[in-house]
Amino acid sequence: MPHVEIKCYPGRSEEIKAKCAEEVTKAIAASMGCDESAVSVAIKEIEKEDWKSKVWDTQIAPEMDGLYKKPGYTC
Residues in the chain: 75
Among 2, 10, 62, 71, the one annotated catalytic: 2
Q: Which residues pair with 20 in a beta bridge?
A: none
Amino acid at site 2: P
Annotated catalytic, 2?
yes
Interacting residues of 71 by C-beta distance below 8 A, sequence separation 6+:
60
Q: Which residue numbers are catalytic?
A: 2
